[in-house]
């Protein structure tokens, strides 16, 4: 009975840690978004016209907000870092969800666990157009990318084409490839 309580406390601590990581990532992103309104990644490039709304303060969005797109990317990467696989999958675009089911995504990341607790850092978030933001990131020496697309009135994360193609090959194949590359922890 004591061991069962200890396991339960460990799980609860894990969920609290995940929640704390997500809250911290969202809070930092909100602060940084306030500092960099009107600029794209690292202060370079140009802003898509109309992407920041009409400038009115009515509280109603006038369309896709690039700040919200970056927030979704930050939330997605925070969930990866904290092991929130099902929650991360829920933020995916329809194309991403069609490539791999939620159950398979959770199974993939359980069988081949990425490094947890090490933050993913967004290197660039480039406005492709008013409904598509290209994102590149790194975690330690590992790099990757994807997009945040506006669909169904919400911003959704979409893994890059190479990742989606790998997912279509099935969990076993992806796990084998990642183990061979030394990406499982």
- Structural domains in the chain, CATH included, are 2-41+62-180 (3.10.450.100)
Beta carbons within 8 Å of 38's beta carbon, 6+ residues apart: 47, 52
At residue 107, the pLDDT reads 97
Q: What CA–CA distance (Å, rounded) separates 81 from 69?
A: 19
pLDDT score, position 157: 97
The mean pLDDT value of the chain amounts to 78
Is the pTM higher than 0.75? The answer reads no
At residue 58 the predicted structure's pLDDT band, cuts being 50, 70 and 90, is very low
The residue with greater pLDDT, 3 or 101, is 101
Section 108-132 average pLDDT:
93
pLDDT of residue 185: 87
Q: What is the predicted pLDDT for the residue at 114?
A: 87
Pick from 119, 123, 160, 122: nearest CA to 140: 119
Beta-bridge partner residues of 121: 138
The predicted structure's pLDDT at residue 1: 59
Burial of 38 (0-12, 13-18, 19+ CB in 10 A): exposed
């Amino acid at each position: 009975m004591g061991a069962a309580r200890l396991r339960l406390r460990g799980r609860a601590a894990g969920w609290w840690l995940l929640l704390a990581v997500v809250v911290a990532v969202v809070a930092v992103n909100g602060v940084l978004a306030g500092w960099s309104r009107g600029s794209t990644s690292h202060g370079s490039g140009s802003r898509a016209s109309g992407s920041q709304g009409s400038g009115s303060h009515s509280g109603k969005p006038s369309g896709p907000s690039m700040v919200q797109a970056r927030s979704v990317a930050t939330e997605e990467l925070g969930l990866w870092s904290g092991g929130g696989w099902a929650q991360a999958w829920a933020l995916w675009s329809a194309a991403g969800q069609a490539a791999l089911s939620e159950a398979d995504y959770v199974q993939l990341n359980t069988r081949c666990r990425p490094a947890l607790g090490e933050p993913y850092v967004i290197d660039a978030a480039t406005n492709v157009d008013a409904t598509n933001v290209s994102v590149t990131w790194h975690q330690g020496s590992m790099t990757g990318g994807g997009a945040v697309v506006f669909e169904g009135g919400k911003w959704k994360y979409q893994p890059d084409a190479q990742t989606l193609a790998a997912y279509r090959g099935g969990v076993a194949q992806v796990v084998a490839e990642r183990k061979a590359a030394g990406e499982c922890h």
